[in-house]
Structure 1
Amino acid sequence: MIVDIASDVRAQAVPPVDGRRAHAGFWLVAAVYTLVMLGGTLPIPLYALWAPRMGFGPFTTTLIFAVYALGTVLALMVFASLSDRVGRRPLLAAAVLAAATSTALFLLADDVGTLLAARFLCGLGTGVFTATATAALGELAVAEHTRRVSTVSTVANMGGLGLGTVVAGLFTQYGANPTRLVLWAYLASLVPAFLAVIVTPETVTARQRPAMSVRRSTIPDRRAARTEFLRVATAVLAAFAVNGLFSSLVPSLLREQLHVHNVAAVGAEVGLLFIVALIAQVAAPVRWISGRRPAQTFLVAGVAVFETGLWTRSLPTFAAGTLLAGTGIGLAFRRGVGVAQWLADPRRRADLLSTYFLFAYTGTIVSTLALGLLDQTINQDVATLILALAVAVVATTLASALSRPTTAIA
């Protein structure tokens, strides 16, 4: 019998933390997790204002997206699993400081180099926080509430990403200082976030000396468990490839081809993908979340429909594709986090989660860089069609592989 994803995570021993402190720490980590992820998408609507000022075009925009994902991948390979050795709290605090430094660099940026440095540092902080916070949530959840762990972690991740573009779009369109006010507000919000991390209970009791090295990707040892993990990891890679393609494409697409110049509307359209993914995670029927095919079905349908909207220059069709793709991304992500939490060794929880998120952000890097490179040589419509077909082939092949029976994981 395959893992029952409806139960989300295997019951783990509760860390030696007072129940009320653990409960408060759980929600503090979840809140800061949301805020850090919000910062990951906050700059997206600002690129339209920075581009003419700093003199860069579509290729540089996709490069900025790829640099962010590259920073996240580097964090997952080098830093994220450190929390298994030195504790969750030091890594969470360092990630918040990285987010603050990145925001300060955005405020100072007057050239592409500073913008790239800020985005790379933002990716580093996001990568460290993503794996560490997900592990901490699994350990702070009291025994009777372990089922909520993957729900809360995925809500914090996708909800924060969705809110980032919406908030930035509103500030940019209606604020007094479009490229600075939203960044100052975000920087101020990181102060109480840092304090929240400091008072959060530590859940790693057997600490070791830190050892810096490029980690090898960790996967479960048992064959059935390894197979199940690789399935959900490949699914999230395809999902985040769509995410990267969509996020890097939409701002310029709406302005140049669909003639939408309201920055708040652009931010809302990008945020819609993440908001729908969030809703899918918390409201979809259990059979969709625990099933193997629904995520891939929605993902392929979404790519097909928003490509149709792109070629026909139809905003309603593009929005419909966003709804479908967002649902597929949400289902893939929710199932994957549940499986990773369930399979993880409690002593190396962040390690396996780092591998899972490494798959996810690799998908983002590949799709954004490929789009930027193809856009230099062929029409953007053709470039996105090629990438959309590639994602559809990966997702379809995966769905076919997932239909094969497997042995038990328990």
Structure 2
Amino acid sequence: MAAVYTLVMLGGTLPIPLYALWAPRMGFVPFTTTLVFAVYALGTVLALMVFASLSDRAGRRSLLAAAGLAAATSTALFLLADDVAAPLAARFLCGLGTGVFTATATAALGELAGAEHTRWVSTVSTAASMGGLGLGTVAAGLFAQYGANPTHLVFWVYLASLVPAFLAVIVTPETVTAKQRPAMSVRRPSIPHRRAARAEFLRAATAVLAAFAVSGLFSSLVPSFLREQLHVHNIEAVGAEVGLLFIVALIAQVAAPERWIAGRPPAPSFLVAGVAVFEAGLWTRSLPTFAARTLLAGTGIGLAFRRGVGVAQRLADPRRRADLLSTYFLFAYTGTIVPTLALGLLDQTINQDVATLILAVAVVAATLASVLSRATTAIA
């Protein structure tokens, strides 16, 4: 299950280094790339609000299989793409599959491992998520730089890899024993009922919203910044720089002391430092400074994500595990969509450096909110 989870997440970042190759052929304008990022996050959010929690009633395997088919269809659309519409549709479908898979696979991992292994499950699930995201950009960059067909070969290989992944899902034991007739509807985000548990969950969710806002901001800016400002035209280098953010996040989750993960201040501290250094790198056009922000921000993203998954797994009602996890991931991907769209809109009217600074301040404010909120804070 962890291997398939990693593979599905890998597909979510495959296109990132390839936008520069598609742009001249498909007539991309700067806002188009922003829109493609946002459409992916929009599909993820829609899946989390409508489909992801269905696995609590219909079972994990059927939803995971459907998400795998969505990933395969998205990949096929990239292979057929010859105008802007195809990448937009492909990214939306990919987002739908990712949204269903993140909540459902995380719930399935917890149930397969058992309640006594909650901490281990949070490590495995976050490693699968961050590891997959990081490997996607690196793999796409390698295939694009050294492969025979830069924008197609990586998708053919990925499509082939989804076949054994689909079979693996089919043979995985079903963990939902008391199935019910699924009822599809736009659900209200689920949060714990107890006041203290609700406050703890919302603090963790706010932290991961800020972490994914940082991730979305970096991922949407890095390719164009490296190419246009620092004149880095090697596609593998671009893919590696984006992927490094997620690889560092993965290493932080596995190697960080437990007190860093359990405590509230460490993750936001690294995130704020990463955003500050990132802004310095943008304004000074300094590649070493730009690389330093990857280490700082990646560490903060990894710590915030692992801590949040652990909190959600621990507080979830065993009968509605995917429901609470869907809410957690809803916070995360909302963090991705808002700054990415805002950057694209602001970039049409003001200087990109100024637009990025405005968003950086907003992200820092959200990050600090996750630390400064009191334990008694709750939503009515």
The match for 2:65 among 81, 84, 93 is 93
CA displacement, residues 110-148 of structure 1 (integer Å, 9 cap, x when unaligned): 111111000000000000000000000000004654431
Structure 2's unaligned 5+ residue stretches are none
The match for 1:384 among 334, 356, 361 is 356
Matched, 1:274 2:274: no
Once residues 155 and 313 of structure 1 are traced to their aligned partners in structure 2, the CA distance between those partners, rounded to angstroms, is 32
User: Corresponding residue for 1:164?
Assistant: 136
Query: Structure 1 169/361 Cα, relative in aligned 2: closer, same or farther at 3 Å?
Result: same
User: Corresponding residue for 2:326?
Assistant: 354
Once residues 308 and 144 of structure 1 are traced to their aligned partners in structure 2, the CA distance between those partners, rounded to angstroms, is 45
Once residues 327 and 197 of structure 1 are traced to their aligned partners in structure 2, the CA distance between those partners, rounded to angstroms, is 31
Structure 1 position 397, deviation (Å): 2.9
Once residues 146 and 303 of structure 1 are traced to their aligned partners in structure 2, the CA distance between those partners, rounded to angstroms, is 31
Structure 1 position 400, deviation (Å): 2.0
Secondary structure of the residue that 1:56 maps to in structure 2? coil
Structure 1 position 396, deviation (Å): 1.8
CA displacement, residues 63-88 of structure 1 (integer Å, 9 cap, x when unaligned): 00000000000000000000000000
User: Corresponding residue for 1:345?
Assistant: 317
Secondary structure of the residue that 1:244 maps to in structure 2? helix
Matched, 1:137 2:109: yes
Once residues 132 and 271 of structure 2 are traced to their aligned partners in structure 1, the CA distance between those partners, rounded to angstroms, is 21
Once residues 142 and 352 of structure 1 are traced to their aligned partners in structure 2, the CA distance between those partners, rounded to angstroms, is 17
- TM alignment of 1:367-378, pairs within 5 A: 367-378=339-350
- TM alignment of 1:9-408, pairs within 5 A: 29-142=1-114, 145-401=117-373, 404=374
Between 1:140-149 and 1:31-40, the stretch displaced more is 140-149
Q: Which amino acid aligns with 1:62?
A: T
Secondary structure of the residue that 1:147 maps to in structure 2? helix
Query: Structure 1 99/236 Cα, relative in aligned 2: closer, same or farther at 3 Å?
Result: same
Displaced runs of 4 or more, over 6 A: none
CA displacement, residues 24-56 of structure 1 (integer Å, 9 cap, x when unaligned): xxxxx1000000000000010110100110001
Q: Which amino acid aligns with 1:311?
A: W
Once residues 400 and 203 of structure 1 are traced to their aligned partners in structure 2, the CA distance between those partners, rounded to angstroms, is 38
Once residues 213 and 157 of structure 2 are traced to their aligned partners in structure 1, the CA distance between those partners, rounded to angstroms, is 30
Q: Which amino acid aligns with 2:350?
A: I
Structure 1 position 399, deviation (Å): 1.7
Q: Which amino acid aligns with 2:41?
A: A
Once residues 216 and 392 of structure 1 are traced to their aligned partners in structure 2, the CA distance between those partners, rounded to angstroms, is 27
Once residues 117 and 191 of structure 2 are traced to their aligned partners in structure 1, the CA distance between those partners, rounded to angstroms, is 26
Once residues 366 and 118 of structure 2 are traced to their aligned partners in structure 1, the CA distance between those partners, rounded to angstroms, is 32
Q: Which amino acid aligns with 2:358?
A: I
TM-score (ref. length: structure 1)? 0.91
Q: Which amino acid aligns with 1:34?
A: T
Q: Report if aligned partners of 2:17, 2:238 keep a CA contact under 8 Å in 1.
A: yes
Structure 1 position 405, deviation (Å): 5.2
Once residues 205 and 25 of structure 2 are traced to their aligned partners in structure 1, the CA distance between those partners, rounded to angstroms, is 39
User: Corresponding residue for 1:21?
Assistant: none
Structure 1's unaligned 5+ residue stretches are 1-28
Once residues 56 and 116 of structure 2 are traced to their aligned partners in structure 1, the CA distance between those partners, rounded to angstroms, is 24
Q: Which amino acid aligns with 2:150?
A: P
Structure 1 position 210, deviation (Å): 1.3
Once residues 340 and 370 of structure 2 are traced to their aligned partners in structure 1, the CA distance between those partners, rounded to angstroms, is 21
Query: Structure 1 386/53 Cα, relative in aligned 2: closer, same or farther at 3 Å?
Result: same
Once residues 186 and 62 of structure 2 are traced to their aligned partners in structure 1, the CA distance between those partners, rounded to angstroms, is 19
CA displacement, residues 226-259 of structure 1 (integer Å, 9 cap, x when unaligned): 0000000011111101111100000000000011
Report the identity percentage.
87
CA displacement, residues 326-368 of structure 1 (integer Å, 9 cap, x when unaligned): 1111110000000000000000000000000000000101010
CA RMSD of aligned residues (A): 1.0
Once residues 58 and 293 of structure 1 are traced to their aligned partners in structure 2, the CA distance between those partners, rounded to angstroms, is 36
